[in-house]
């Protein structure tokens, strides 16, 4: 009786009876050549045959959904979708996108719905509540959710709870690495409620910044877009919000995560906003958090033409930035990570301002970092300017370090320039702390004869230098290098100094006295 519940069942039953009838008839005809007794005996096993045949027909209905079988309308079951009433929706076509089957029902405004890639239980959650908690999940492990309860209304929202969003115990500031996408609309609505100074205060709060950091880590394009728009607005004080974030110990972390979440167009907009006001850009480079974020932008844009926004600003305020300890490292970030063509303008600025940088404490340190990276013709031009001004820089408390760097490069051209230009000035610079180091370095070069001859030209000058707090190390160095090389200049120095050993026995001259008479010289500090 179950076959008669539908017309389809009735049709199948009739077909079965017809097949049984023809099968029995055929079987009888094949055995008709025998006796009637044989006919009666052959009819006996027909019962099991009919039963097997009916089972075979029933099995055909069970395999109707297999690939390659045809239904009675001629449609492959793979290209039809069985309806709940046992019928079929014809004309449904299969398409494949990225190798996954998607079914199009033929309706004008229908959308392709891909089959789920994973079962709903793959996330380890037995049930999903209204909030963001993974209840029953091993991922939970006692951690709090991003937003435990986002079912709120604007009139009584969690933002207003406790009269202030900063420091509130609403759970909105709790941070979690669990990335649940079940309530994206509620999250976006929550971000929309953070308007103006509320958004600023939330970013500058420790817990609030961690929450926004976590939401940005979801990499939801709409969430990122919403936060990006808010960051680019002005606060009630007329100050750009991004500026307040980049200078704050908590806000800069939100901005850092935002940079990682941006697409190319958004990153272009952020870069333009940061660099469009030179005074704001300079203030950012002077601040620890701000400079770290700009250096991060530099690393992200190192292969993009957008890097010119940053390098142009650095060139425009090159001297000011390079003479600041924190700001100078922003330029160094460019020199270490950008291509040679991108750094060309920065190197030109360094060549232009090299003398001003050399006589500044932070500037001289930054200039030495430039010397370490600059190459080609620009390197030649920079070292040529510095070596030609060796007399001036050698007597400067900061510039002498730059000249020492030039000599330590062991470039014969520039070292010779320095040694030659200092002739006539060796006595003066030997009496200075920094200058004495330069003279000692020059005594290690092949042009040391120029220096010693300069001292030998005047005995009083030689004794004056030998008795000086810094100069005595220069004379000691001259005696050591000439003795080691077997130079006749060694004996000339001895002949000038020995008649005055009594003068050298006291004060700083005692170091030279001990060296000549076999005593141990004092190591220079």
Residue 271 falls inside a structural domain? no
Query: Model confidence over 344-363: pLDDT tens digits?
Result: 999 999 999 999 999 999 99
Confidence bin at 313 (pLDDT 50/70/90): very high
Q: Which tokens go with 99?
A: 């190798």
Give tens-digit pLDDT for 421-461: 999 999 999 999 999 999 999 999 999 999 999 999 998 99
Alpha carbon distance 67, 417 (integer Å):
88
Q: Residue 20's domain spans which residues?
A: 1-32
Specify the pLDDT at position 202.
92
Residue 478 near residue 445 (C-beta atoms within 8 A) = no
The label of the residue with tokens 């008709």 reads: 32
pLDDT average, residue stretch 144-148: 31
| pLDDT band at 269; cut points 50, 70, 90 | very high
For residue 141, pLDDT over 60 is answered with: no
Of 19-23, 88-92, 138-142, 474-478, the least confident: 138-142
User: What's the pLDDT at 189?
Assistant: 79
Read off the pLDDT of residues 479-500 as tens digits, 9 standing for 90 and up. 999 999 998 999 999 999 999 8
Confidence of residue 25 (pLDDT cuts 50, 70, 90): low
In angstroms, rounded to a whole number, what is the distance separating the alpha carbons of residues 289 and 468? 47
Q: Is residue 487 part of a domain?
A: yes
Residues 222 and 185: beta-carbon distance below 8 Å: no
Per DSSP, 302 falls in state: T
| Rounded Cα distance, 302 and 339, in Å | 8
Helices 471-485 and 448-456, packing angle to 10 deg: 120
Helix/strand/coil percent split, the chain, to 5: 60, 5, 35
Give the model's pLDDT for residue 236.
85
Phi/psi for 429 (5° steps) reads -75, -20
SS (H, E, C) 176-195: CCCCCCCCHHHHHHHHHHCC
Taking every pair of Cα atoms in the chain, the longest distance, rounded to a whole number of angstroms, is: 157
- Burial class, 396, CB count within 10 angstroms (exposed 0-12 / middle 13-18 / buried 19+): buried
Q: Which residue has the higher pLDDT, 517 or 47?
A: 517
**Average pLDDT of span 148-168:** 33
Confidence at residue 183, expressed as pLDDT on a 0 to 100 scale: 60
Calculate the dihedral angle through the C-alpha atoms of 14, 17, 18, 21, rounding to the nearest 10 degrees.
Answer: -160
| Rounded distance between C-alpha atoms, residue 36 and residue 42, angstroms | 10
3-state secondary structure of 101: strand
In a domain, residue 292? The reply is no
Residue 92 lies in a domain: no
Quote the distance between the C-alpha of residue 366 and its chain's center.
24
Tell me if residue 105 falls in helix, strand or coil. Answer: coil
Count: domains in the chain: 2
Would you say residue 117 has pLDDT above 50? no
CB 24 within 8 A of CB 50: yes
Please give the average per-residue pLDDT across 236-252, as a whole number.
Answer: 93
- The Cβ-side half-sphere exposure at 169, using a 13 Å CA radius, reads 0
| Cα angle for residues 445, 480, 516 (degrees, 5° grid) | 155
CA 399 to the chain's CA centroid: 36
pLDDT value, residue 7: 65
> Taking 70 as the threshold, does the pLDDT of residue 123 lie above it?
no
In whole angstroms, what is the distance from residue 211 CA to residue 346 CA? 39
> Is the Cα dihedral 353, 358, 364, 368 positive or negative?
positive
The b/e string for 455-492 (b: 16+ C-beta within 10 A; e otherwise) is bbeeeebbbbbbbbebbbbbbbbbbebbeeeebebbee
| DSSP 8-state symbol, 2 | G
Whether 3 is in a domain gets the answer yes
Residue that wins the pLDDT comparison between 390 and 53: 390
Q: Does residue 119 sit within a domain?
A: no
Number of CB atoms found within 10 A of residue 138's CB? 9
Q: What is the DSSP letter of 250?
A: T
d(CA 513, CA 525) in angstroms, rounded, equals 18
How many Cβ atoms are within 10 Å of 18's Cβ, its own excluded? Answer: 10
Residue 514 lies in a domain: yes
Map residue 508 onto helix, strand or coil.
helix
pLDDT, mean of residues 292-312? 95
State the pLDDT at residue 40: 42
Confirm whether 448 is domain-assigned.
yes
């Amino acid at each position: 009786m179950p076959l008669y519940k539908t017309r389809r069942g009735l049709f199948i039953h009739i077909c079965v009876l017809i097949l049984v009838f023809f099968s029995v008839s055929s079987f009888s005809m094949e055995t008709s050549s025998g006796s009637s007794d044989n006919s009666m005996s052959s009819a006996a096993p027909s019962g099991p045959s009919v039963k097997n045949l009916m089972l075979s027909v029933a099995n055909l209905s069970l395999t109707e959904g297999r690939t390659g079988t045809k239904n009675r309308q001629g449609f492959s079951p793979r290209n039809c979708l069985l309806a709940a009433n046992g019928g079929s929706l014809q004309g449904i076509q299969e398409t494949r996108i990225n190798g996954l089957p998607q079914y199009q029902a033929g309706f004008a405004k229908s959308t392709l719905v891909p089959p789920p890639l994973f079962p709903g239980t793959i996330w380890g959650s037995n049930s999903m509540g209204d909030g963001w908690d993974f209840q029953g999940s091993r991922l939970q492990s006692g951690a709090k959710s991003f937003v435990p309860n986002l079912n709120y209304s604007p009139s009584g929202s969690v933002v207003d709870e406790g009269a202030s969003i900063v420091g509130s115990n609403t759970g909105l500031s709790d941070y979690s690495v669990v990335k649940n996408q079940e309530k994206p609309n509620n999250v976006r609505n929550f971000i929309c409620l953070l308007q103006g100074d509320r958004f600023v205060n939330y970013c500058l709060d420790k817990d609030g910044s961690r929450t926004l950091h976590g939401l940005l880590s979801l990499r939801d394009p709409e969430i990122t877009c919403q936060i990006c728009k808010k960051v680019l607005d002005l606060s009630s004080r007329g100050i750009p919000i991004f500026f307040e974030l980049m200078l704050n110990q908590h806000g800069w972390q939100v901005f850092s995560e935002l940079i990682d979440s941006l697409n190319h167009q958004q990153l272009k907009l952020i870069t333009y906003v940061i660099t469009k006001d030179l005074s704001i850009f300079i203030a950012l480079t002077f601040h620890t958090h701000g400079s770290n974020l700009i250096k991060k932008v530099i690393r992200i844009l190192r292969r993009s033409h957008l890097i010119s926004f940053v390098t142009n600003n650095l060139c425009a305020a090159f001297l000011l930035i390079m003479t600041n300890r924190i700001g100078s490292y922003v330029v160094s970030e460019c020199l270490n990570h950008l291509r040679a063509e991108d750094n060309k303008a920065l190197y030109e600025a360094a060549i232009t301002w090299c003398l001003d940088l050399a006589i500044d404490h932070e500037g001289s340190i930054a200039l030495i970092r430039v010397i370490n990276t600059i190459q080609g013709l620009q390197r030649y031009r920079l070292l040529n300017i510095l070596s030609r001004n060796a007399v001036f820089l050698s007597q400067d408390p900061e510039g002498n370090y730059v000249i020492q760097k030039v000599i330590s490069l062991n470039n014969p051209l520039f070292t010779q320039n320095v040694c030659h230009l200092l002739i006539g000035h060796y006595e003066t610079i030997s009496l200075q702390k920094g200058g004495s180091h330069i003279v000692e370095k020059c005594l290690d070069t092949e042009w040391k004869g120029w220096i010693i001859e300069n001292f030998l030209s005047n005995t009083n000058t030689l004794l004056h230098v030998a008795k000086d707090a810094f100069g005595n190390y220069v004379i000691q160095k001259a005696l050591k290098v000439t003795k080691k090389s077997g130079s006749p200049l060694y004996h000339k120095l001895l002949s000038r100094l020995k008649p005055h050993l009594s003068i050298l026995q006291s004060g700083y001259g005692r170091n030279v006295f001990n060296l000549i008479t076999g005593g141990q010289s004092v190591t220079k500090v």
